Chain A
Amino acid sequence: MSSSSRRAAAALAVTLGSLAIAPAASALDLPGPAGEPIGLDVTNTTVVDYRWDNRNHDPRAFNPRPIVDDDYGEWINRLNVQATWWRFRVGVRLDSALYYLTTTRTEAQVIAQKQIDAVKQADPNAQVPQTIDYANRFYNELNTRFLNSIYPAKLYVGYNQPGLDVTIGDFYAQLGRGLVLSVRKIDELAIDTTIRGGKVVFDKKLGPARIGATLLAGQMNPLRFDEVSGRRLHGAGSPLFFGFPDAKPATTYAINGQPIVAEPRPSYLEDTIFGGRVEGGIDAVQFAANASVLMRKSFTEENLACKNACPTGDSTCVDRCYAQFPEFTVLPGGRSHNQIRTFSGSVNVPSIAGIGDLYVEVAGQQLRDGHVGAIDAQGMATERQADVSGYAVYANANFGLGKLQLSLEAKHNRKFFPLGSNIDVTTPGYSAPEYSVVAYSAPPTAEPIYIEPIESPNVCMTGGRATANFKYSEHTSVYGWLGRYRSWTEVPTNDLCQSMDDQFRTDTWDTAVGVDMSREQGKSHARAWIGMRLAERAVPTLGTRAPGETDVLYYEGYIRYDLVKHIKGPFSLQLQGFHRNRYLPATHGRVWNEGENYTALHWSPHLSAVFGYEYSTRPGCQPELAGEDEFKVVLCHYLSGGLTYRSGSTDTWASRLVNTVNLFVGQRRGAIRCVSGVCRLFPPFEGARLEIVSRF
């Protein structure tokens, strides 16, 4: 352990130790001016972990990314302090990350050389990179990862009185049901984007009617370091984000050993948004109109002009152009235009004759100021992405008919794109590919949240889902759903919905049935459902990894369950998990199984002990064992154990300091996790992780 790591550990020990011995306390209201107390709320989340080899590296692949994610530790801390006085509130969240025992540049060179030697030894004819080239890939990877950071992630002041709420600083926001704008905290995806700017919410009752308005403006503020990968995101230096970490120069080495120092470049050009909503109606029916304009920074013309002025072969000059006028690889869809206007109108009927409700939203979208592809000698754009216009319709109705609950959803989208962030996901040494999931809208879905979308199914699609829940008795319900979707943007070559031809069309059935039971006054509980999803191409195709022609785009059959059995007194046993049988011929030539089961013993209200087992036969689950033959079935196992302690109160300093503790030791398989059609690939984890939540 380095001396700085020892100092950090000592400081942590001092903090924890000091708090543990502090006497009981009862309140965090402090005396304030004018006889009004100042309410103070402090929540601190500390995560300390260490990761060992997570077995995701293919020794024949010269890719440093799955190598540097082994054998390192991190200490992530998020300190959230909020104070309220009278109608005012003020808050700050200080985020910090400290990494230890990470791969050093010297170690990277040794690792690169060892891997090259091993591959050559196994096969003297194998194609291998030059050692310095491969080492440079490591250096580029490390340039944006495992960088110690501390910065004020969220700041705000606010004022609240009946009918008016004003926030200056960071805030979450949503317009409509997420079609026009949605920036929220999504822990499942490690996303916590806010808007930093201003927001005013006005609301007034006029007899039986109510009117309201929301206005907001600001710049998007995604997290700047990613706990999962240790990657840091660097903005372009907007003054709104003072105290945020800056990009570093990228140093690589020429074949003669001379260092090549490239100027720092950002990986995020701050996106700006303006938006608002007006709404009105009576309790029985409410209308709303929403609009947002997303403005992107773009330096394309300047970048092209600068590069055109560089002498041929002068890489230093070109590098300077990129540093001065950052330019990212253009991703299709919502990232290819610098201005996206989205607007919608909605009708909400909260009660239909006391047995149901209805919500309908119709949205339009205009993608304007397309990305420039080329300029002329005068610096004027001669090539530009064409304007695109699209729309979306979403409807949801619910009915309760005695013991039967019915929920209906329908959606119809044409060229309706998510509001993607302006983040570099490709440039070696600077990019932040893990942040490619950051988006500022979340179209409401008519599908189960755990569905992993293929390509961009929502851009052009029509579909719906019906869910029924029948309450057989007070403690037993059966339920099921049936979904049917038709999409033209699940096939990669048509992800912009260029064509509505049948060769791009996919038809999907999604169905499940389940049971929900409780016994022993609700102390024991069983919830289980079995389901299937089948997506077929309208026209069978060759060229997938399936043998011959296939019309299967995706197939999945699964069972999911959550079972709790009360044992005695405060003790209960829980089994929770799922098992899936899957087939995705576009990327895998064979069917695979994956699943997990977590068994927990709960001792209410404070302790839970968990034992986990996960497995997968997905091709490549452990590349080292897979060999060249993807049809060879390899069963990967993942074992883990965990302890959770919850103090269950905030009565004493000790219970506040150690309000919740989660300890996880073991292995967790790599998996895609999805929320609202946004998915993120989480690499496998092997190690130990301790999380302590303190609440004051």
Chain B
Amino acid sequence: MNARKAHVFGAAIAGLLLSSCGGEMPSAKAGGGATAPDFTLPSLDGKQVRLSDYKGNSVVLIDFWSTTCDPCMIEMPHLVDLYKKHKDRGFVVLAVSADGPESRAQVSSVVRSKDMIFPVLLDEETVVTARYNPKRELPFTVLISKDGSIVHKRGGYTAGDEKTLSAEVEKALAE
């Protein structure tokens, strides 16, 4: 099949399939979203952190960020505040750094200067980033309910977005 025909055929099939599936799809999770794929990453303090260790106990916010991403730096103090506010209710932030060789050296000093008191994970290979955020948009947040399902995904940050995120976190904690 040549590429042009494939484009036309593929687009039409996708359109028909998606339009026909409509309605609500079966959900196995109370949180309402797909199951969050499990992963293990090294943390900045030398430990290994596994997502599934939090299942059943915590609402987890995975924040994909990097030291070279300006909006990530602006958003970070809001995440710190959010974490401080809700950590006693079982809220956890996992800040996954996508810094590669070009900026990995800056991670720990940024973590200290931004008072990032939650676990900071290192995804230098971008393996987990690719799994959750194939487009590698930064910042990118994924909110996971206590039962391990994804309830919210959001790419980018502009001033004021923290209100929306805070509302999502409170909703997830209340469920």
- Which residues of A line the B interface, CB within 8 A? 4, 7-8, 10-12, 14-19, 21-31, 37, 39-41, 43, 45, 75, 77, 80, 82, 84, 87, 89, 93-94, 96-98, 147-150, 160, 162, 165, 171-174, 177-179, 182, 184-187, 203, 205, 210, 281, 283-284, 286, 348, 350-351, 357, 359, 396, 398, 400, 405-407, 409, 442-446, 449, 467, 469, 471, 477, 518, 522-525, 527, 562, 564, 566, 569-572, 574, 576, 602, 604-605, 608, 644, 646, 648-650, 653, 657, 659-660, 675-677, 693, 695
Q: Which of A45, A178, A518 contacts B100 (CB 8 A)?
A: A178
CB-based closest 8 A-B pairs: A604-B160, A178-B101, A18-B19, A676-B102, A350-B46, A148-B3, A15-B15, A11-B11
A381 to nearest B CB, angstroms?
35
Please state if A522 and B78 are interface contacts (CB–CB under 8 Å). Answer: yes
- B153 lies within 8 A of chain A by Cβ: yes
Q: Which of B7, B16, B39, B105 contacts A8 (CB 8 A)?
A: B7
**Residue of A with least CB distance to B9:** A11
Question: Given that A31-B28, A89-B37, A444-B102 are known contacts, is A400 also in contact with B74, CB under 8 Å in the complex?
Answer: no
A4 to nearest B CB, angstroms?
5
Residues of A within 8 A of B74 (CB): 518, 522, 525, 562, 564
Chain B: number of interface residues, binned into ranges: 35 or more
Q: A469-B113, A693-B155 are in contact. List 6 more A-B contacts (CB 8 A).
A: A8-B7, A11-B10, A15-B15, A178-B101, A522-B78, A604-B163
Q: Which of B57-65, B87-95, B120-128 contacts A (4 or more CB under 8 A)?
A: B120-128
12 residue pairs A–B, Cβ–Cβ below 8 Å: A11-B11, A22-B21, A25-B21, A27-B25, A39-B35, A89-B131, A172-B125, A350-B46, A405-B109, A405-B113, A527-B70, A604-B159
Question: Given that A80-B134, A604-B158 are known contacts, is A8 also in contact with B101, CB under 8 Å in the complex?
Answer: no
Question: Given that A89-B37, A646-B154 are known contacts, is A25 also in contact with B3, CB under 8 Å in the complex?
Answer: no
Please state if A185 and B19 are interface contacts (CB–CB under 8 Å). Answer: no
Please state if A653 and B161 are interface contacts (CB–CB under 8 Å). Answer: no
Per the bound structure, the CA–CA distance linking A635 and B129 in Å amounts to 41
B125 to nearest A CB, angstroms?
5
Per the bound structure, the CA–CA distance linking A293 and B99 in Å amounts to 25
Per the bound structure, the CA–CA distance linking A660 and B157 in Å amounts to 12
B129 to nearest A CB, angstroms?
8
Residues of B within 8 A of A17 (CB): 15
Per the bound structure, the CA–CA distance linking A648 and B156 in Å amounts to 9
Please state if A37 and B109 are interface contacts (CB–CB under 8 Å). Answer: no
- Which residues of B line the A interface, CB within 8 A? 2-4, 6-12, 14-16, 18-19, 21-29, 32-40, 44-48, 50, 68, 70, 73-74, 77-78, 81, 100-106, 108-109, 112-113, 124-127, 129-131, 134-137, 149, 152-156, 158-164
Per the bound structure, the CA–CA distance linking A350 and B111 in Å amounts to 13
**Residue of A with least CB distance to B102:** A676
Please state if B153 and A182 are interface contacts (CB–CB under 8 Å). Answer: no
Per the bound structure, the CA–CA distance linking A400 and B153 in Å amounts to 34
Q: Which of B3, B9, B105, B161 contacts A97 (CB 8 A)?
A: B3
Please state if A522 and B77 are interface contacts (CB–CB under 8 Å). Answer: yes
Residues of A within 8 A of B44 (CB): 350, 357
Which of B113, B124, B158 is most buried by chain A, counting CB atoms within 10 A of its CB? Answer: B158
B72 to nearest A CB, angstroms?
12
Please state if A348 and B156 are interface contacts (CB–CB under 8 Å). Answer: no
**Residue of B with least CB distance to A181:** B125
Please state if A605 and B134 are interface contacts (CB–CB under 8 Å). Answer: no
Please state if B152 and A649 are interface contacts (CB–CB under 8 Å). Answer: yes
Please state if A11 and B126 are interface contacts (CB–CB under 8 Å). Answer: no
Please state if A40 and B46 are interface contacts (CB–CB under 8 Å). Answer: no
